Amino acid sequence: MSRWGSLMVVAASLVLCTAGAGFAQSSGSDQMMGRHSMQGEVTSLDAKKGWIHLKTAEGTMIMHFPPESLQGVKKGDRISVDLALKDNGPGYPGAAG
């Protein structure tokens, strides 16, 4: 597998209406929750703009990466994405309220 076999995504903000309880708090100062990996197939991408569609067993994820991180990734590649949640608190720009 190429160096693109494992990309990392850190979700800084996420609407939790589809998330269930059971996110475990990680140890350490980063306070990330719900860490896990998902594998899938790249079904579409715009490497110049940084957008990628990844078909997983749970559904299709549409994600954004820095464009330079997608150089060499192509449609049909099988990749893993590492995910986590981080609560940025009520003062986070764009937060409701």
Domains and CATH numbers, the chain: 3-13+30-86 (2.40.50.140)
pLDDT higher for 45 or 93?
A: 45
Q: Which of 27, 69, 29 is closest to 45 using CA atoms?
A: 69
Residue 4: pLDDT over 80: no
What's phi and psi for 70, nearest 5 deg? -100, 0
pTM: predicted TM-score of the whole model, two decimal places: 0.61
92 pLDDT above the threshold of 50: yes
Sign of CA dihedral 35, 39, 43, 46: positive
22-79 residue pLDDT tens: 334 444 446 888 899 999 999 999 999 999 999 999 999 999 999 999 999 999 999 9
How many CB atoms are located within 10 Å of the residue 16 CB? 11
- Amino acid present at 33: M
Q: Report which of residues 82 and 29 the model is more confident about.
A: 82
Instruction: For residue 39, list its beta bridge partners.
Output: 80
